[in-house]
Chains A and B, each alone.
Chain A
Amino acid sequence: MNKRPRTSVFTVLVTLFAVVMLPMYLLGYGIFQWGYQMTTDEITQSIYTRASFFTNTLESEIQRIRTVHQECLNDSDLYYYVNSLSIMGSYEKLTGLLNIVKRLELVHNSSAYIKDVKLWMPRIPRMVTSSGGVESMMGDWQKLLDAPVISPSTGLMVYEGELYFCSSYPAGISYTNNLPQYVLAVQLSNEKISEELMGFNLYPEAGTLLQATEQDFHLETGQDIRITGKELTAEGQFSVGTYRAENGEEYLLLSHESTELNMRMHTYISKKSIYGGLDTYRGLFVIFTVAVCLLILAYLWFSRRLISQPVRRLVDSLRQVENGRLDVRIDHRTNDEFSYLYASFNQMAESLENMFEINYRQRMLAQEAELRQLQAQINPHFLHNSFFILYRMAKDEDYDNISEFLTYLSDYYRYITRNASIEVDMEAEDGHARRYVQIQLVRFKKRISADFAPLPEKFKELKVPRLILQPLLENAFNHGLKDTVSDGLLRVWYEERDTKFLVFVEDNGSGMQDAELEALQKKLRSADDFLMERSGIINIHQRLRIRFGPDYGLKVEKREPGGARFIMMLPYASGDEAPGKE
Chain B
Amino acid sequence: MYRILVVDDEAFITDSLAFLLENQAPAELEVVKAYSAAQALELLNHSAFQIVISDIEMPGKSGLDLLREIHAKWPRCKVVFLSGHDDFQYAHQAMRYNAVRYVLKNEGDDVLLEAVAECIRRIDREQKSVGNVLKNSTESSVTGRQRRNLRRCLTESRNGADYPPEEWKKLGIRLDTDRKIMLMAGCTRESIYENNLQSVQTVLESKIGHAVLSDAVLLHKKLGIWMMQPADRNNRDHALAAIKGLAEEICEACRISLHIHITFIFDEEEVSWADVPRHVTALQDIAQNRLNKDSGIAMAGFRFFEQQEENQEEPVAEAAFVCRLMSHIRENLGGDLSLSALSELVYLNPSYLSRRFKEMTGENLTDIILRLRMEESCRQLEETTNRIKNIGIQVGYESAAHFSRIFKREKAMTPQEYRDRFMR
Give chain A's interface residues, CB within 8 Å of chain B.
Answer: 380-381, 383-385, 387-389, 391-393, 395-398, 401, 442-447, 481-486
Contact = CB atoms under 8 A, between A and B. Distances in A.
Interface in B394-409: 399-402, 404-405
Interface stretch (B15-23, B216-224, B272-280, B281-289): B15-23
A395 B20 CA distance: 9
A398 B85 contact: no
Contact of B13 (A383, A389, A397, A482): A389
Contacts of B20: 395
A446 B108 CA distance: 24
Interface in B1-45: 9-13, 16-17, 19-20, 35-36, 38-39
B98 to A, nearest CB: 25
A218 to B, nearest CB: 125
Contact of B402 (A396, A482, A486): A396
B295 interface: no
B16 A384 contact: no
Contact of B12 (A384, A387, A389): A389
B105 A397 contact: no
B15 to A, nearest CB: 9
B36 A388 contact: no
B contact patch SS = helix
Contacts of B85: 380-381, 384
A383 B106 CA distance: 11
Given A397-B401, A397-B405, A447 B12 contact: no
Contact of B38 (A387, A396, A485): A485
23 contacts: A380-B85, A384-B105, A385-B105, A388-B106, A389-B13, A391-B105, A391-B106, A391-B108, A392-B12, A393-B401, A395-B16, A396-B402, A396-B405, A398-B400, A398-B401, A442-B12, A443-B10, A443-B12, A447-B35, A482-B60, A485-B35, A485-B39, A485-B60
Given A393-B401, A445-B12, A486-B35, 11 more contacts: A384-B105, A384-B106, A385-B13, A387-B105, A388-B106, A396-B16, A396-B401, A442-B12, A485-B35, A485-B38, A485-B59
B57 interface: yes
A445 B17 CA distance: 16
Contacts of B38: 485
B298 to A, nearest CB: 35
B59 A481 contact: yes
A484 B59 contact: yes
Contacts of B36: 447, 485-486
A388 B401 CA distance: 16
Nearest to B105: A388
A447 B17 CA distance: 18
Contact of A401 (B57, B59, B401): B401
A387 B106 contact: yes
Interface in B311-365: none
A474 to B, nearest CB: 15
B84 interface: yes
B410 to A, nearest CB: 15
A446 B14 CA distance: 11
B190 interface: no
B405 A389 contact: no
A499 to B, nearest CB: 39
Contact of B84 (A384, A395, A447): A384
B82 to A, nearest CB: 8
B405 A446 contact: no
Contacts of A486: 35-36
A492 to B, nearest CB: 20
Contacts of A444: 9-11
A446 B19 contact: no
Contacts of B35: 446-447, 485-486
Contacts of B60: 482-483, 485
A395 B24 CA distance: 12
Interface of B: 9-13, 16-17, 19-20, 35-36, 38-39, 57, 59-60, 84-85, 105-106, 108-109, 399-402, 404-405
A392 B11 CA distance: 12
Contact of A482 (B59, B106, B405): B59
Given A395-B109, A397-B401, A380 B12 contact: no
A488 B17 CA distance: 24
Contacts of B57: 381
Contacts of B108: 391
B9 A388 contact: no
Nearest to A488: B59
Contacts of B10: 385, 389, 443-444
A396 B400 CA distance: 10
Contacts of B400: 398
A488 to B, nearest CB: 9
Contacts of A392: 12-13, 16-17
B411 to A, nearest CB: 16
A254 to B, nearest CB: 116
A391 B399 CA distance: 15
B20 to A, nearest CB: 7
Nearest to B11: A446
Nearest to B83: A384
Nearest to A402: B401
A396 B84 contact: no
A394 to B, nearest CB: 10
B280 to A, nearest CB: 44
A562 to B, nearest CB: 14
B59 A396 contact: no
Contact of A396 (B9, B19, B39): B19
A392 B17 CA distance: 8
A387 B402 CA distance: 19
B9 A447 contact: yes
A447 B60 CA distance: 12
Contacts of A381: 57, 84-85
Nearest to A443: B10
Question: Top 4 nearest A-B pairs by Cβ distance?
Answer: A384-B84, A398-B401, A446-B11, A392-B16
Most A CB contacts (10 A, CB to CB) among B10, B11, B57, B85 go to B10
Nearest to A386: B84
B366 to A, nearest CB: 20
A389 B84 CA distance: 11
Contacts of A395: 16, 20, 109
A477 to B, nearest CB: 10
B257 to A, nearest CB: 41
Contacts of B59: 447, 481-485
A572 to B, nearest CB: 36
A434 B105 CA distance: 26
B23 to A, nearest CB: 10
A485 B11 CA distance: 11
Contacts of A396: 16, 19, 399, 401-402, 405
A381 B12 CA distance: 15
A388 B399 contact: no
Contacts of A380: 84-85
A388 B14 CA distance: 11
Contacts of A387: 105-106
A388 B13 contact: yes
A481 B60 CA distance: 10
Nearest to B24: A395
A392 B36 CA distance: 19
A484 B9 CA distance: 10
A444 to B, nearest CB: 6
A387 B405 CA distance: 21
Contacts of A398: 399-401
A482 B36 CA distance: 11
A387 to B, nearest CB: 6
Nearest to B60: A483
A182 to B, nearest CB: 155
Contacts of A401: 401
